[in-house]
Amino acid sequence: MNQSEEKIRIENVSKIFDIGKGNTIQALVDINLSVYNEEFVCIVGPSGCGKSTLLYLIAALDRPTSGRILVEGELVTKPNPKVGMVFQPDSVFPWLSVRDNVAFGPIIRGVPEEQVRWITKNYIEMVGLQGFENSLPRQLSGGMKKRVDVARAFANNPDILLMDEPFGALDAMTKEKLQIELLRIWDTERKTVLFVTHDLEEALVLGSRIVVMSRAPNTIQTVLDVPFERPRDLLLKTSTEFQQMRRQLWDLLK
Amino acid sequence: MAASDQVVADETARLEIMMQRHERIARVVPIAVLIALWIVVTEMHWVPPLFLPTPENLWSAAQNLIINLPSDLFASLVRRILPGFTIGISLGTLLGVLMAMNRLAKATFEPIVEILRPLPPLALIPLLILWLGIGYATHILLIAYGSFIIMVVNSYEAVRNVPPIYIHAATTLGATPRQIFRRVIIPSIVPDIIAGIRVSAAASFGYCVAAELMGAMTGLGYRLVLARRYLLTENIIVILIVIAVLSFSIDYGIRRVDEGLTSWKPRIAQK
């Protein structure tokens, strides 16, 4: 597939939440953004800047107040399994085993049983959870549950993956580990990723481009290219260029 | 492990064993004291047998009552509670879930439910007797209605409490509303529904006995009325014990089913 193919196109999107008693919140103001095939775009910004709202709109879990969103050239009106999502809170189904969680997408889409078994095995191994197939989520740590979440999203084979601060609730060490694994998975299985985070280092390690959002007005302030070579590892964080870019982002968000 | 850690661990384990021993004693002592007190005050004739029978009285009453027990149990449990409870929880759960899933259904049924809910079901007994007489229909209807009201509210709240994040996750994985209902909402509400069924089961016993007290010719409640009429205190106590044991056994059964169905649910450990 062509790398310059436009996967997501966001045109003049605004979102206003009505919070009752005639009060409204301007969650997003006039957003314009294009994301291209196999890009890894990170969105950073202060809390309350609307970055999560933007993902919810792309996933069709909510509708923009004005403007339009196109995914692969088609207007987004209803949820589409080609657009997967990983949420910040734990969204692993607690009543299903690890295996059944990962198999959820393929099963509901009617993928033949034999293939579901193969897909499930593959993605459980990819996130390093072999041996835990029959475990229930309550028996897993926060980091392991996040792996189930990521495996479940990848197993559904989306073209586009929206990740809403997926590692935000994890401790620093677990977070770094999952970042490396995500880089590794993404290197073998390229998808178009839109990754929301408030962690500047995370954005620089993972992203090819970084969208910087501002608060009040909740809009895109600037977009930066991240020039670091791939495959990347965490040693990248110690390089001067990395630290310079981090400083640049920090200044932007100050 | 360092030696000092080992000492701390041993001490913790020792305290735990002691605590468990105390718990076992605490469980038994009050009951033992009450039974001893009962034996002493009745055997010494400090209270009249009409007020509190002796253990011998109780034993012979139990032997007399056991002849009627199968038919009483059949009347109360099989002919009244079972149909009433089954109808009540089925319709109640269906309506509660429907109201939570469908706005029009909610608008249609909510006013009726809200008007009926504050009415104690027992207050309906005179009206039901007037309408339907003192037959099984009255008893079954009362039990069904009592469980129905509990389950409507319970299952409605259960659906409303399904965390939206699970519905969002299923949606982004491509689930249709039907699939979300079957694969997300139903498994999520099972624990709450079972909790409601437990409450309904206990309440059904109460409504059954109440209905039988007010007007019936069979059943455990009817046996209680007879015993009171003939001043057979020992019979009353034996029947109360039977009701307690039955109600406990049914609750225990439901709890066992619950453990099997909802073992996935994280719970605070109970010692």
At A216 the three-state DSSP class reads coil
Question: Which of A91, A101, A163 would you mutate first to test chain B, the one with the most B CBs within 10 A?
Answer: A91
Q: Is residue A11 located within the same domain as residue A53?
A: yes
Query: Token pair for residue B121?
Result: 């079901």
Residue B175: pLDDT above 60? yes
| Chain length of chain A | 254
Closest residue to B165, CB basis, from A84, A91, A105: A91
Q: Is residue A49 located within the same domain as residue A174?
A: yes
- Banded model confidence at residue B269, pLDDT cuts 50, 70, 90: low
Residue B267: pLDDT above 80? no
Q: Is residue A49 located within the same domain as residue A99?
A: no
Q: In chain A, positions 152-211, which contact chain B (CB-CB < 8 Å)?
A: 152-153, 156, 162
Q: Is residue A41 located within the same domain as residue A113?
A: no
- The per-residue pLDDT for B261 is 86
B266 contacts on A by Cβ (under 8 Å): 94, 138
Q: In sequence order, what DSSP letters do the residues of B91-123 get, joined into one string?
A: HHHHHHHHHHH-HHHHHHHHHHHHHHTTS-GGG
| Chain length of chain B | 271
Question: Which of B172, B184, B190, B264 would you mutate first to test chain A, the one with the most A CBs within 10 A?
Answer: B172
Q: Is residue A173 located within the same domain as residue A52?
A: yes
CA distance A229 to chain B (A): 32
At B217 the three-state DSSP class reads coil
Spatial separation of the C-alpha atoms in residues B161 and B188, rounded to whole Å:
9
The total of structural domains in chain A comes to: 2
Residue A142 at interface with chain B, using a CB cutoff of 8 Å: no
Q: What is the pLDDT of residues A41-75, one digit of tens each?
A: 999 999 889 999 999 999 999 999 999 999 999 99
Q: How many CB atoms within 10 Å of residue B33? A: 10
Q: Is residue A153 located within the same domain as residue A165?
A: no
Domain-embedded: residue A184:
no
Residue B181 at interface with chain A, using a CB cutoff of 8 Å: no
- The per-residue pLDDT for A34 is 95
Domain-embedded: residue A185:
no
Residue A20: pLDDT above 80? yes
Domain-embedded: residue A129:
yes
Q: Is residue A153 located within the same domain as residue A164?
A: no
Q: Is residue A115 located within the same domain as residue A241?
A: no
B260 contacts on A by Cβ (under 8 Å): none
Q: What is the pLDDT of residues B4-54, one digit of tens each?
A: 778 888 888 999 999 999 999 999 999 999 999 999 999 998 988 888 999
Spatial separation of the C-alpha atoms in residues A207 and A2, rounded to whole Å:
19
Query: Token pair for residue B217?
Result: 């010719």
Whichever domain contains A37, its CATH number is 3.40.50.300
Residue B1: pLDDT above 80? no
- The per-residue pLDDT for B271 is 42
Spatial separation of the C-alpha atoms in residues B211 and A212, rounded to whole Å:
70
Domain of residue A133, residue span: 88-157
Q: Is residue A124 located within the same domain as residue A164?
A: no
- Banded model confidence at residue B2, pLDDT cuts 50, 70, 90: low
Side-chain-side CA neighbours of B223 within 13 Å: the count stands at 28
Q: Is residue A59 located within the same domain as residue A166?
A: yes
Domain-embedded: residue A96:
yes
CA distance B95 to chain A (A): 24
CA distance B192 to chain A (A): 14
Closest residue to B166, CB basis, from A80, A91, A108: A91
Closest residue to B179, CB basis, from A90, A95, A108: A108
CA distances from A218 to A62, A147, B80 (A): 17, 31, 64
Q: Is residue A150 located within the same domain as residue A43?
A: no
Q: Is residue A55 located within the same domain as residue A109?
A: no
Instruction: Report which of A90, A91, A72 is spatially closest to residue A82, judged by C-alpha positions.
Output: A72
Q: What is the pLDDT of residues A72-126, one digit of tens each?
A: 999 999 999 999 999 999 999 999 999 999 999 999 999 999 999 999 999 999 8
